Amino acid sequence: MSTRQVLIFSHFERFWHWTQMVLIVTLLATGFGVHGFHSLIDFEEAVTLHTIAALALGVLWILATFWLLTTGTWRHFVPSAKGLWQVARFYAWGIFQGEGHPYRKAYWRKHNPLQALAYLGLKLVLFPAIWISGIPYLLYGLWQHLPQASEWLSWVALVHTAAAFAIAAFIVAHIYLLTTGHSFVEHVKPMITGFDEVDLSPEEEAYLVKDQPRHIR
């Protein structure tokens, strides 16, 4: 195996990541404003911005889902039990003892097992929870005449807010992990340039050098 700088984050993937980040932060800020957690923005403006950001994020996720399925990139988000315990132990204990990270990026698996598991949970649990609760919340005017509508709205709001707090906690943990190991800049740089250090087999290195020379340094 040899370690080379390889393009593992495409232009679309980087666009998806940063656009999603801006939209989710906007949704959290406006959503918490709507719930009265802060008064930094007017209620009506918060509702309008929240709705626009939600619709934009929905379009982005549709495009991202299509891209993941058509490019086969979805495989990077399939968790594996192999190495999961070692990575979990590292973050819970080894990182505080100065141990090296047990996982090395591979060409066809850029996320470690714990990352893949966390991203999969985000995409299959928290994001659907946000939409399943958010759409009825937004369209309450269409079903408010139903029996016990106000009681159902309370549950919808509870699920929506709980999912929002869970996503906020994920973001905090994500940023915290960017400050561990390498410098913050070194962690963020691959999502800007697309290039990161990857362990390559001789066959993978030969393929990239011959057929994708612009994807390897």
CATH of the domain at 48: 1.20.950.20
Q: How many domains does the chain have?
A: 1
CA distance 88 to 193: 28
The whole-model pTM stands at 0.87
Q: First vs last Cα of the chain: how many Å apart?
A: 15
Return per-residue pLDDT of the chain as tens, 217 residues: 788 999 999 999 999 999 999 999 999 999 999 888 888 899 999 999 999 999 999 999 999 999 999 998 888 888 888 888 998 888 888 888 878 888 877 777 888 888 889 999 998 999 999 999 999 988 998 999 999 999 999 999 999 999 999 999 999 999 988 887 767 888 899 999 999 988 898 888 898 999 999 999 9
* Domain hosting residue 133, numbered range: 2-215
CA distance 111 to 109: 6
